[in-house]
Amino acid sequence: MNPQNGTFKKRGIDYEVPEEMFTLTGDYYHSEEIYQKELEKIFYKRWQLACREEQIVEPGDYLTVPVGEESVIVSRTKSGDIKAHFNVCRHRGTRICVEEKGHFANEIIQCPYHGWQYDLDGNLKGAPFMRDVPGFDKADYGLHPVNVRQWGGFVFINLAENPMPFEDEMGALIGRFEAWNLPELRIAHHIPYRLKCNWKLILQNYQECYHCPGVHPLLADWTPFQNAVHDCMEGAVIGGYMTMTRERGSMTMDGEAAAPPVCDVAGEDLQRVHYYSVYPNLLLSPHPDFVLYHLIRPVGVGEITNDCYFLLHPNVIGDAEKMERFKSAIEFWDMTNLQDWAVCEQMQLGTGSRRFERGRYAPQEDILYALDREVLKALED
Amino acid sequence: MNPQNGTFKKRGIDYEVPEEMFTLTGDYYHSEEIYQKELEKIFYKRWQLACREEQIVEPGDYLTVPVGEESVIVSRTKSGDIKAHFNVCRHRGTRICVEEKGHFANEIIQCPYHGWQYDLDGNLKGAPFMRDVPGFDKADYGLHPVNVRQWGGFVFINLAENPMPFEDEMGALIGRFEAWNLPELRIAHHIPYRLKCNWKLILQNYQECYHCPGVHPLLADWTPFQNAVHDCMEGAVIGGYMTMTRERGSMTMDGEAAAPPVCDVAGEDLQRVHYYSVYPNLLLSPHPDFVLYHLIRPVGVGEITNDCYFLLHPNVIGDAEKMERFKSAIEFWDMTNLQDWAVCEQMQLGTGSRRFERGRYAPQEDILYALDREVLKALED
Amino acid sequence: MNPQNGTFKKRGIDYEVPEEMFTLTGDYYHSEEIYQKELEKIFYKRWQLACREEQIVEPGDYLTVPVGEESVIVSRTKSGDIKAHFNVCRHRGTRICVEEKGHFANEIIQCPYHGWQYDLDGNLKGAPFMRDVPGFDKADYGLHPVNVRQWGGFVFINLAENPMPFEDEMGALIGRFEAWNLPELRIAHHIPYRLKCNWKLILQNYQECYHCPGVHPLLADWTPFQNAVHDCMEGAVIGGYMTMTRERGSMTMDGEAAAPPVCDVAGEDLQRVHYYSVYPNLLLSPHPDFVLYHLIRPVGVGEITNDCYFLLHPNVIGDAEKMERFKSAIEFWDMTNLQDWAVCEQMQLGTGSRRFERGRYAPQEDILYALDREVLKALED
Cβ-Cβ contacts under 8 Å between A and B: the total is 97
Beta strands in chain A (DSSP E): 22-25, 48-52, 61-67, 70-76, 82-86, 101-103, 108-110, 117-119, 124-126, 145-151, 154-158, 186-195, 228-234, 237-243, 272-278, 282-286, 291-300, 303-312, 358-360
* Cβ-based contacts of B26 with chain C (< 8 Å): 93
Q: B88: which chain A residues are within 8 Å (Cβ-Cβ)?
A: 350-351, 353, 355-356
User: Searching chain C, which residue's CA lies closest to the CA of residue A133?
Assistant: C1
Tell me the nearest-neighbour CA distance from C301 into chain A, angstroms.
17
Identify the band that residue C225 occupies on the pLDDT scale cut at 50, 70 and 90.
confident
Strands (E), chain B: 22-25, 48-52, 61-67, 70-76, 82-86, 101-103, 108-110, 117-119, 124-126, 145-151, 154-158, 186-195, 228-234, 237-243, 272-278, 282-286, 291-300, 303-312, 358-360
Confidence (pLDDT) at A361: 95
**pLDDT-based confidence at residue C231 (cuts at 50, 70, 90):** confident
How many beta-carbon contacts under 8 Å exist across A and C?
A: 96
ipTM of the complex: 0.93
Which of B229-238, C104-113, C303-312 is the least confident region? B229-238
Which residue in the set C26, C343, C353 is minimally distant from A86, CB to CB?
Answer: C353
Per DSSP, the three-state class of B121 is coil
CA distance from start to end of chain C: 29
Which residues from chain C sit within 8 angstroms of residue B359, using beta carbons? 89-93
Span C360-366, average pLDDT: 92
Model's pTM, two decimal places? 0.93
CB within 8 Å: C210 and A92? no
CB B125 within 8 A of CB B142: no
Rounded to whole angstroms, the Cα distance separating A231 from B276 reads 66
> How far apart, in whole angstroms, are the C-alpha atoms of residue C70 and residue C76?
20
Which CATH number is associated with domain A22-44+176-380? 3.90.380.10
The CA distance from A111 to A280, in Å, is 31
Q: What is the pLDDT of residues C46-91, one digit of tens each?
A: 999 999 999 999 999 999 999 999 999 999 999 999 999 999 999 9
Q: Do the Cβ atoms of A71 and C20 come within 8 Å?
A: no
Q: Which of B107, B101, B80, B88 has the alpha carbon at shortest distance from B146?
A: B88
Residue A16 confidence class, pLDDT cut points 50, 70, 90: low
Could you give the 3-state DSSP secondary structure of residue B353?
A: coil
Calculate how close chain A gets to B112, using CA atoms only, in Å.
Answer: 7
Cβ–Cβ below 8 Å for B113 and A346? yes
The average pLDDT across A256-268 equals: 97
pLDDT of residue C9: 34
**Nearest-by-Cβ selection for B19 from C69, C90, C135:** C135
pLDDT at A228: 87
Specify the pLDDT at position A61: 98
* A21-31 pLDDT tens trace: 999 999 999 99
Distance (Å) from the C-alpha of residue A183 to the closest C-alpha of chain B? 36
Q: What's the CA gap between B126 and B129, in Å, rounded? A: 9
Rounded to the nearest integer, the mean pLDDT of chain C is 93
pLDDT (tens digit per residue) in B132-180: 888 899 999 999 999 999 999 999 999 999 999 999 999 999 999 999 9
pLDDT at residue number A6: 30
Q: C-chain residues within 8 Å CB-CB of A92? A: 23, 347, 351, 359-361
| Shortest alpha-carbon distance between residue A326 and chain B (Å) | 29
B68-84 per-position pLDDT tens digit: 999 999 999 999 999 99
Chain A interface test: which of B43, B85, B92, B99 (most A C-beta within 10 Å): B92
The class level of CATH for A48-163 reads mainly beta
Per-residue pLDDT at B6 exceeds 70: no
Question: Is the pLDDT confidence value at C145 over 50?
Answer: yes
pLDDT of residue B7: 32
Residue C8's pLDDT is 32
Secondary structure (3-state) at A53: helix
- On whether the CB atoms of residues A193 and A353 are closer than 8 A, the answer is no
CB A161 within 8 A of CB A146: no
Q: What is the pLDDT of residue A1?
A: 32
* Cβ neighbours around C168 below 10 Å, total: 12
Question: On the CB side of B88, how many CA atoms lie within 13 Å of its CA?
Answer: 26
| Chain B residues near any Cβ of chain C (below 8 Å) | 1-2, 5, 7-8, 19-20, 23, 26, 210-211, 213-215, 342-343, 346-347, 349-356, 359-364
| Burial category of C41 from C-beta neighbours within 10 Å (exposed 0-12, middle 13-18, buried 19 and up) | middle
Cβ pair B135:A2 closer than 8 A? no
A350 contacts B95? CB cut-off 8 A: yes
pLDDT band at C370 (very low <50, low <70, confident <90, very high): confident
Where does the pLDDT of residue B15 fall: very low under 50, low under 70, confident under 90, or very high at 90 and above?
Answer: low
Closest CA of chain C from A375, distance in Å = 22
Query: Do A112 and C360 make contact, defined as CB atoms within 8 angstroms?
Result: no
Among candidates A112, A127, A133 on the partner chain, residue whose Cβ is nearest the Cβ of C343? A112
pLDDT value of position B1: 31
Q: Could you report the per-residue pLDDT of B177-217, keeping only the tens digit for each?
A: 999 999 999 999 999 999 999 999 999 999 999 999 999 99
pLDDT at C195 over 50: yes
Beta carbons of A93 and C346 less than 8 Å apart: no
- Residue B359's pLDDT band (cuts 50, 70, 90): very high
Of A94-103, B322-331, C219-228, the poorest mean pLDDT is in C219-228
What residue spans define the domains of chain A?
22-44+176-380, 48-163
Q: Which residue is closest to B39 within chain A, CA to CA?
A: A354
Q: Give the nearest chain A residue to C1 (CA atoms).
A: A133
Contact C89, B350 (CB under 8 A): yes
The pLDDT score that the predictor gives to residue B320 is 97
CA distances from A15 to A232, A233, A237, A238 (A): 10, 8, 14, 12
Closest CA in chain B for residue C40: B354
Q: Which of B214, B351, B364 sits opposite C112 (nearest CB)?
A: B214
pLDDT of residue C112: 98
- Provide CATH code, domain B22-44+185-380: 3.90.380.10
Give A126-157 pLDDT, tens digit per residue: 999 998 888 899 999 999 999 999 999 999 99
Among partner residues B349, B354, B359, which is closest to C92 by beta-carbon distance? Answer: B359
Q: Which residue of A has its CA nearest to B85?
A: A355
Helix axes C320-350, C199-206, angle to 10 degrees: 120
- Is the per-residue pLDDT at C276 higher than 70? yes
State yes or no: pLDDT of C12 exceeds 90: no
pLDDT band at C2, cuts 50/70/90? very low
Nearest to C113 among B347, B352, B360 (CB): B347
Residues of B in contact with A362 (CB under 8 A): 91, 114, 127-130, 133
Q: What is the mean pLDDT of chain B?
A: 93
What string of DSSP letters covers B192-243? EEEESS-HHHHHHHHT--TTHHHH-HHHHHHS-GGGEEEEEEETTEEEEEEE
Give A225's pLDDT tier (boundaries 50, 70, 90): confident
Q: What average pLDDT score do residues B232-259 get?
A: 92
Mean pLDDT of A16-43: 93
pLDDT in tens, B17-46: 677 899 999 999 999 999 999 999 999 999
Query: What is the per-residue DSSP string for B135-178?
Result: T--GGGGPPPEEEEEEETTEEEEE-SSSPPPHHHHHGGGTTTTG
User: Cβ separation of C353 and A89 shorter than 8 Å?
Assistant: no
| pLDDT exceeds 60 at position C5 | no
Compute the mean pLDDT over every residue in chain A, rounded to the nearest whole number: 93
Domain B49-163, CATH homologous superfamily name and number? Rieske [2Fe-2S] iron-sulphur domain (2.102.10.10)
Q: Which fold has domain C22-44+177-380?
A: Naphthalene 1,2-dioxygenase Alpha Subunit; Chain A, domain 1 (3.90.380)
pLDDT over 70 percentage in chain A: 96
Q: Do A83 and A148 touch, CB atoms closer than 8 A?
A: yes
Residue-wise pLDDT for B326-337, tens only, equals: 999 999 999 999
Three-state SS at B339? helix
Give the chain B residue whose CA is nearest to the CA of A341: B113
